[in-house]
Amino acid sequence: MTHDAPALAGRLSQLVQVPTVTPPDGGPLTPETAQVFSTFQALLREFYPTLFAVAEVATVGRAGLLLRFAGTGEGTGATALGTVLLMAHQDVVPAPTEGWEAAGWTHPPFDGIIADGEDGLTVYGRGTLDDKGALLVLLEAVEDLLVEGWRPHDDLYLSLGGDEESDGPSAVAAIAELERRVVKPVLVVDEGGAVTTGLVPGLTKQVAVVGVAEKGVVNLEVSVSADPRTPAHSSTPPRRSPTAALGRAIAALERHPHPAQLDDISVRMFAELAPYVPGPLSAVLGRADQLRPVLAQVFPYLGAEMAAMVRTTTAATMLTGSSAPNVLAAKATAIVNMRVATSSTLADAIRHVEKVVTRAVGSSLTVDVRVLEGHEPTPVSPFDERWDAILAAVAGSYPDALTVPYTMLGASDARHAARIAPAVYRFSPLYMSAAQRASVHGVDERVTADSLVRGVHFYRALLTAQA
Ligand SMILES: [Zn+2]
């Protein structure tokens, strides 16, 4: 199988052309969606015949695939440490099939156009970075190795999710299946960070950011209600209405964010970046550990991402209230979506909201804070020989890049793996410029053919420990 850049770009282009738009969470797939995923999987089988011949293949959840390659007790690389689980997902977020130009796309999102971009040969389209590019380089590397006669030392599992973007059941089903088989992976790699530049002002060095933990998530329903006997006509409004009180509560949540704190992962990240950052910022980041309280206070002013790095965030999202222009709401509700810092807990996050909301609303109305769903932040993955294996594989595929850990601000399928595996690293071995990072879930999503070549190299290096 040829691994030159145009061949990889060509195969990715074909994968992009099968619009595996993520099915909504819950319920079985519609016949149309099932057909799209089966077309996609047929393409995978065509591209990677040896891989599908050697693997034990199980379908999990709605469109997920779980592949096992039996360990032989011989060989080097990551599986010499124990069972390894590598994850990627087949589904993508939606993109316009009509009106794509008006939406800002240069090429139709599902055409998989290959063209010369600012960084050389580039594949354009939905999923090129998230996550079909990563899926492609993973399967290419394994196919390639198997053809050469390589077999894993211990079991190797590949989990190819079918509904990651809608937080659907396939990743959960894959982990449940591994639990049923009493499989305990020593090492898991899934999407998350990438190889990038421009992470810190003035920093020109390429940096591979690897997620070693994920924040928790909780959705709260905050409601404010009035005594049901209160007249409901808007012509005679009371002094205090649930709608206005809810507004005050939301404003108070914005005014009283969670206390800011710089966690150990961020300290490690900044300390490792410091030598490469020009000017006085270098000295500041190099002393991140001693300067924790100061940096935690400064970061929230450096943009939404930096702010989210140092605290549990609170965002009011869906609002409901009155059903008609002239009816007062007896009850007004807001969904509050929180991302819980790794140094904190759901209970802590919920307590904070209850306290702030209750104080803002006052005693004449009833406040209720209900937990809809949530999960705790994940544990932090270790910095031991498994982290070293990631470092070595990055060094082999992106020799100019520095590898640093970070905490993922969003939630990914990998959090389910954290239940059965102590060492989960969230990283796609693809180069993403700042503009490309913005194209994930956005407009003009694209990946360079060069980074596909490097991505294949990353997984080869990880599985064989040879750069
Ligand atoms: Zn993804």
CATH number at residue 115: 3.40.630.10
* Mean pLDDT, all residues of the chain: 94
81 and 116 assigned to the same domain: yes
Considering the domain architecture, whether residues 227 and 182 belong to the same structural domain is answered as no
Whether 352 and 387 share a structural domain: no
**Residue 134 and residue 51 share a domain:** yes
Number of domains present in the structure of the chain: 2
End residue of a domain, out of 358, 375, 392: 375
* 27 and 140 assigned to the same domain: yes
Pairing of β 64-69 and β 156-161: antiparallel
Q: How far is the CA of 125 from the centre of ligand 1 (A)?
A: 14
Q: 390 lies in which domain range? A: 5-200+207-213+379-464
Q: Which of 375, 394, 415 is the last residue of a domain?
A: 375
CATH code at position 322 = 3.30.70.360
A 10 A CB-CB count for 437 gives 14
Looking at the structure, tell me whether residues 116 and 17 fall in a common domain.
yes
pTM metric for this prediction: 0.90
Gap between the Cα atoms of 307 and 315, Å rounded: 13
pLDDT score at 166 = 87
Q: What is the mean pLDDT of residues 370-395?
A: 96
Do 441 and 398 lie in one domain? The reply is yes
68 and 111, same structural domain? yes
pLDDT score of 3 = 67
- In a shared domain, residues 48 and 153: yes
Same domain, 83 and 160: yes
Predicted confidence (pLDDT) at residue 167 exceeds the cutoff of 90 = no
How far is ligand 1, taken at its centre, from the CA of residue 386, in Å? 23
Last residue of a domain, one of 375, 410, 438: 375
With b meaning 16 or more CB within 10 Å and e meaning fewer, what string describes 365-377?
bebebeeeebbbb
Same domain, 243 and 132: no
Are residues 342 and 378 in contact, defined by beta-carbon separation less than 8 angstroms?
Answer: yes
Answer yes or no: do 342 and 423 share one domain: no
Residue 127 CA to ligand 1 center (angstroms) comes to 8
Which residues keep their CB under 5 angstroms from ion ligand 1? 130-131, 191
Distances from the Cα of 61 to the Cαs of 45, 158, 167, in angstroms? 19, 15, 12
Report pLDDT digits (tens) over 331-367.
999 999 999 999 999 999 999 999 999 999 988 899 9
The Å distance, Cα 251 to ligand 1 centre, comes to 32
Q: Lowest-confidence range among 29-38, 196-205, 279-288, 291-300?
A: 196-205
Distance (angstroms) between ligand 1 centre and the Cα of 115 equals 23
